[in-house]
Amino acid sequence: MTVPSPIELVCPAGSLPALKTAIDHGADCVYLGFKDATNARNFTGLNFDPAQMREGIAYAHARKRKVLLALNTYPQTGNWASWTQAVDRAADFGLDAIILADPGLMAYAAKTHPQLRLHLSVQGSATSYEAINWYHERFGVQRAVLPRVLSMAQVESVIANTPVEIEIFGFGGLCVMVEGRCALSAYATGESPNCNGACSPGKHVRWEDTPRGMETRLNGILIDRFADGERAGYPTLCKGRFEVNDETYYALEEPTSLNTLELLPELARIGIRAIKIEGRQRSPAYVAQVTKVWRAALDKLKAGGAEGFSVLPGWMAELNKVSEGQSHTLGAYYRPWK
Amino acid sequence: MKLALGPLLYYWPHQSVLDFYADMAEAPVDSVYLGETVCSRRHELRLEDWLEVGKVLADAGKEVVMSTQGLIESESDLKVLRRIVRQRAGGDAGFRVEANDMGAVRLLAEAGVKDWVAGPTLNVFNPSTLQLMIDAGATRWAVAPEMAGAALAEVRAALPAPLETEVFAYGRLPLAHSARCFTARHFNLQKDTCEFRCLSIMDGIALRTREGAPFLTLNGVQTQSARVHNLLGDLPAVRGQAEVLRISPQGAHTRQIVELFRATLDGSRSPADALAASREWMVEEPCNGFWHGRAGVEQYVAA
């Protein structure tokens, strides 16, 4: 029997301090983006200018860790050159891989920088091995990040039928919709993850203290209303409370985080090659907390194998502290979630 | 300008579906997209049944296109996908195929099929990606509804040769897909034991804000807009950027909508008049923001 490859821990770096924190706490890889719409976390105050990126790469490489660049939004005709320039810069900076969603951009990267390693972004919405193998055959994609929709058995089937390494989301903010297939934000605000790198963007958000309670609006659309004592969450539009047939509830999804820590032995068994932590928009403190726990868990699994693995109560407590809504879910890995 | 009837996005009883397409066989549409694109649990019509419906429509002179499922999750989803590709790969006997994920693209290219439709969920936003689809055998591009008219014009202008383009011109916007079923969730059921509650909800379930404003529509694993995307009033501009207009089936009065589009394209009604007339047949207020590069929910009227 072949020994399964160790699982890489891929951590978010929304800033240089976050990058260093992730590396210091045991990340195998960090992923980051440029300060523009070429990545899916195009938020004010976030991401890297060229100097910061060079410094971050040097910091990581000096400690034998990898740096991945997310270029995972879809360029349009008029702004195409910004994306190809970003690919060129990535090759020039010596990034370890670029994470792409757009096939046209992959073709450009594969042709112009054949040595540059390509990952398929979750925004590419590839949920089957047939789709993933297309990217592999056409552009030499070496790793694919799966949308958060498949069950464990389905992920296992994907892995069994593709030479492409599979990375999954292990922890963090949970998209209830298939990534890359969601135009809810575009519908409500005109800005989408696909084309603008933003979902429910802050400039469209309004918080209003009213006699009915704290109301959160997105481009004027009421996303939720909070009673006194309720913690008012950010109005991500799929995580609001709405009325359906006279019932008011979280009709799409609760404000909750994905947490697959307890599935770690099973994920290792089926051959997952990397686990991604969501949250480039989160603070270095979040990155430290989450990276530390996942590093400890992966090390424990490596040392003791599946039989020796158990989730320490302290780990879950630490992770719940930084979870959205202070709660967590197994998402699509847990069938009743669907 | 051709009119196309998009795939039926809702789950209607078997006989309702047959009645609907019998009516459409007589309606002034040129192409009809068939097949289950939303949820693999829906089985009032199986693939064989859809192919039978296709034969009736083809006999009535319609171009029939089999649409593939948007979100492929399981091996059985792939089996259906392969059968849809195979019915076309045999040559002229089968129906044209609309590819709605890259797995479908791979299978069509591998089978040497050279006349498929690049579906709206492929995320084609620029000429380079579109050219890859053309090279793989796409001969029509059904544009993602979120793409603005101006952006579409730029893609078309950059293509070395014209490609037949289809624009989503009428219907509730299919905005998102999920592994979760929101209809089952509403009824406190799990997806695996959903009791097929979608069945007979002809236009999906309305989701409103806590102020009672219609916002979205729950349609199983799909989330749609509440408002009806309606480009009747924008047809003069749309005409320059599309050869095909897609009309998405709704629970009632699809025939009247199709006829309004046909009359407007033929010049026997003005766009403004047609838009006003369509309100009688719409399930909700109109919107057209996406076409104008704005929030999709907006109803934009140029000043």
φ and ψ at residue A167, rounded to 5 degrees = -115, 140
- The CATH number of the domain covering residues in A8-174+256-337: 3.20.20.380
Kindly provide the ipTM of the predicted complex, given to two decimals: 0.97
pLDDT given for residue A304 in this prediction: 87
> If you measure CA to CA, which chain A residue comes closest to B186?
A251
Best of A181, A214, A254 to substitute, by most chain B Cβ atoms within 10 angstroms, is A181
B216 located within any domain: no
φ and ψ at residue A143, rounded to 5 degrees = -145, 145
Which residues touch B266 (CB under 8 Å, ≥6 apart)? Answer: none
Residue B69 DSSP symbol: P
B212/B226 Cα distance (integer angstroms): 12
End-to-end CA distance of chain B: 27
B63 located within any domain: yes
Instruction: Give me Rg for the CA atoms of chain B.
Output: 18
- Long-range pairs for B106-115 at CB < 8 Å and ≥24 separation? B106/A130, B106/A131, B106/A133, B106/A134, B106/A137, B107/A130, B107/B81, B107/B82, B108/B136, B108/B137, B109/A134, B109/B136, B109/B137, B111/B85, B111/B86, B112/B137, B113/B85, B113/B88, B113/B89, B113/B137, B114/B139, B115/B139
User: What is the average pLDDT across B103-120?
Assistant: 97
Total count of domains within chain B: 1
| A2 DSSP β-pair partners | none
Mean pLDDT of chain B: 96
Q: Does A130 touch chain B (CB under 8 A)?
A: yes
Single out the residue of B84, B87, B44 nearest to residue B67, CA to CA. Answer: B84
On the 0-12 / 13-18 / 19+ scale of CB atoms within 10 A, A160 is exposed
> How close A72 comes to chain B (CA, Å)?
12
On the 0-12 / 13-18 / 19+ scale of CB atoms within 10 A, A226 is middle
pLDDT in tens, A70-84: 999 999 999 999 999
Range of the domain at B125: 2-172+227-292
User: What is the average pLDDT across B59-78?
Assistant: 97
- Flag whether pLDDT at B49 surpasses 70: yes
End-to-end CA distance of chain A: 35
User: For residue B276, what is the domain's CATH number?
Assistant: 3.20.20.70
Count the neighbouring beta carbons within 10 Å of the beta carbon of residue A283. Answer: 15
B247 located within any domain: yes
A220/A232 Cα distance (integer angstroms): 17
DSSP assignments along A118-173, one per residue:
EEE-GGG---SHHHHHHHHHHH---EEEPPTT--HHHHHHHHHT-SSEEEEEEEEE
Q: Do residues B278 and B232 touch, judged by C-beta distance below 8 A?
A: yes
Which of B130, B190, B295 faces A187 most closely, judged by CB atoms? Answer: B295
Q: Sort out which chain A residues have CB atoms less than 8 A from B106's CB and list them.
A: 130-131, 133-134, 137
Q: Do residues A10 and A167 touch, judged by C-beta distance below 8 A?
A: yes
| A225 DSSP β-pair partners | A215
Best of A79, A105, A123, A130 to substitute, by most chain B Cβ atoms within 10 angstroms, is A130
B208 located within any domain: no
The alpha carbon torsion through A198, A200, A206, A209 (nearest 10 deg) reads -130
B31 located within any domain: yes
φ and ψ at residue A130, rounded to 5 degrees = -60, -45
Q: Does A124 touch chain B (CB under 8 A)?
A: yes
pLDDT in tens, B278-296: 999 999 999 999 999 999 9
User: What is the average pLDDT across B65-92?
Assistant: 93
pLDDT in tens, B206-245: 999 999 999 999 999 999 999 999 999 999 999 999 999 9
Q: Sort out which chain A residues have CB atoms less than 8 A from B185's CB and list them.
A: 251
Single out the residue of A243, A244, A224, A227 nearest to residue A235, CA to CA. Answer: A224
> How close B25 comes to chain A (CA, Å)?
32
3-state secondary structure of A321: helix
DSSP assignments along A173-209, one per residue:
E--SEEEEEE-HHHHHHS--HHHHS-SS-GGGEEEEE
Consecutive sets of 10 residues in chain A, 338 residues long: mean pLDDT of each?
73 97 98 87 85 97 97 94 95 96 98 98 96 98 94 95 97 90 97 89 94 96 94 92 96 90 94 96 94 96 89 89 76 78
Which of B123, B192, B210 faces A243 most closely, judged by CB atoms? Answer: B210
A94/A78 Cα distance (integer angstroms): 27
> How close B237 comes to chain A (CA, Å)?
19
Sorted by where each begins, the domain ranges of chain A are: 8-174+256-337, 184-249
> How close B242 comes to chain A (CA, Å)?
17
Best of B69, B121, B180, B189 to substitute, by most chain A Cβ atoms within 10 angstroms, is B180
Single out the residue of B226, B121, B219 nearest to residue B168, CA to CA. Answer: B121
Subunit contact A332:B179, Cβ cutoff 8 A: yes
A156/A263 Cα distance (integer angstroms): 13
Which of B176, B184, B205 faces A181 most closely, judged by CB atoms? Answer: B176
Subunit contact A194:B206, Cβ cutoff 8 A: no
A130/B106 Cα distance (integer angstroms): 7
B179 located within any domain: no
pLDDT given for residue A330 in this prediction: 83
Q: Does A244 touch chain B (CB under 8 A)?
A: yes
B273/B232 Cα distance (integer angstroms): 9
The amino acid present at A25, given as its one-letter code, is H
- Flag whether pLDDT at B101 surpasses 90: yes
Subunit contact B74:A154, Cβ cutoff 8 A: yes
> How close B111 comes to chain A (CA, Å)?
13
Return the H-helix or E-strand segment holding B64: strand B63-67
Subunit contact A221:B297, Cβ cutoff 8 A: yes
Subunit contact B205:A244, Cβ cutoff 8 A: yes
Q: Sort out which chain A residues have CB atoms less than 8 A from B151's CB and list them.
A: 76-78
- To the nearest 10 degrees (0 to 180), the angle between helices B47-59 and B75-89 is 30
pLDDT given for residue B295 in this prediction: 98
> How close B230 comes to chain A (CA, Å)?
14
Which of A75, A180, A247 faces B126 most closely, judged by CB atoms? Answer: A75
Both tokens of residue B12?
């209607």
Q: Sort out which chain A residues have CB atoms less than 8 A from B208's CB and list them.
A: 242-244
B271 located within any domain: yes
Q: Do residues A322 and A294 touch, judged by C-beta distance below 8 A?
A: no
Subunit contact B180:A253, Cβ cutoff 8 A: yes
Residue with token string 């399964």: A4
Subunit contact B125:A75, Cβ cutoff 8 A: yes
Subunit contact B132:A180, Cβ cutoff 8 A: no
Confidence of residue B91 (pLDDT cuts 50, 70, 90): low
- To the nearest 10 degrees (0 to 180), the angle between helices B254-265 and B14-26 is 20
